[in-house]
Copies of this chain bind each other. A is one copy, B any other.
């Protein structure tokens, strides 16, 4: 079937693209990139396959890490969690997994399945379950489209494994979240096992290759001493997934409130403009949810909001935010599948307790395609 190799360069591009698409969440991809480079050096490049080429009766295993990304900075995986969980899915389903898929393309979870796939000897599907990163499992397009999260398998570094089965995807998220807390703040999760047909019909298509293309555009802009932000916006628009993109605000981080709460990093970051009294505040729950300039909303979930280093154009995950950082706040339109009336009930502002009606970022900022 049609496949692409992910070599060392493409892996770096994927990490860079996934960091942006994380919208502040999904964990910093840097550690996953290091692990991936070591794996490539050992066994060669990773294999990415087109969803279109997948047989309808294939078994696709979406997977990734669940927990507060602040914890993942301090607690490294033991190495066997992912494979243990995936092997258990195979035992439950009584068959082999044909491909892995990132449950979310954003952040470290955009890369996480590569290593596990290499260990299992299967490819990674060029698709994901969120088109970005979101803090909660039921925010996956797979839930929005009515698929079941179960059987789902949570595994931890201490060898603990839990199989979850429930008809209620919200109960699944609640149970998985509590497990991640009980297991030290972070755990691996296999969830929403998919047939090939369902992967094709419901996953966000071509998002892994989109992330690679976005990262590659930024890398090349830097190599050619061109503007990496302009390259980012152009690559996002060219992806076919993120139709609008642009800058919201430049400034310095002057205040930061952040706490780990119920398995999430929750807080607000305040950015002051360099040469005026303009101020932007960004509220986050693992991911950035809402960017406001004074009282004016400039972007809101499910549109992507990423805090980036003004000089290097590196994406800064919410757990890496620091007082004094000079940053640009960048936004991009969410994939269309996340903007339907039904999807907004799961990933729109009210799903996060924000008393706001969703308005697309391009309307809020007068961007035209």
Q: Given that A174-B182, A179-B178, A182-B177 are contacting pairs, would A162 and B160 also be in contact in the complex, using a CB cutoff of 8 Å?
A: no
Contact of A171 among B168, B171, B172, B183 (CB under 8 A): B183
A293 at the interface (CB under 8 A from B): no
How many copies make up the complex?
2
Contacts of A164 in B (CB 8 A): 160-162
Nearest chain B CB to A252 CB, angstrom units: 40
Contacts of A171 in B (CB 8 A): 156, 158, 160, 182-183
Contacts of A177 in B (CB 8 A): 182
Number of residues on chain A facing chain B (CB within 8 A): 22
| A368→B237 CA distance, assembly (Å) | 86
Contact of A182 among B156, B158, B175 (CB under 8 A): B175
Nearest chain B CB to A114 CB, angstrom units: 26
A167 at the interface (CB under 8 A from B): yes
A80 at the interface (CB under 8 A from B): no
Per-residue B-contact encoding for A199-211, CB less than 8 Å = 1, 0 else = 0000000000000
Nearest chain B CB to A184 CB, angstrom units: 9
Contacts of A163 in B (CB 8 A): 162-163
Contact of A166 among B160, B165, B167, B174 (CB under 8 A): B160
Q: From A167, which residue of chain B is reached at the shortest CB distance?
A: B159
A321 at the interface (CB under 8 A from B): no
Q: From A182, which residue of chain B is reached at the shortest CB distance?
A: B178
Contacts of A166 in B (CB 8 A): 158-161
A181 at the interface (CB under 8 A from B): yes
Per-residue B-contact encoding for A173-194, CB less than 8 Å = 1, 0 else = 0110111011100000000000
Nearest chain B CB to A178 CB, angstrom units: 4
Give the 8 A-B residue pairs with the shortest CB-CB distance, closest first.
A160-B166, A178-B182, A163-B163, A178-B178, A161-B165, A174-B182, A175-B182, A160-B171
Task: Identify 17 residue pairs between A and B in the complex whose beta-carbon atoms are under 8 Å apart, listed by A's number.
Answer: A158-B166, A158-B167, A158-B168, A158-B171, A159-B166, A159-B168, A160-B165, A160-B171, A161-B164, A162-B164, A162-B175, A171-B183, A174-B182, A174-B183, A175-B182, A175-B183, A178-B178
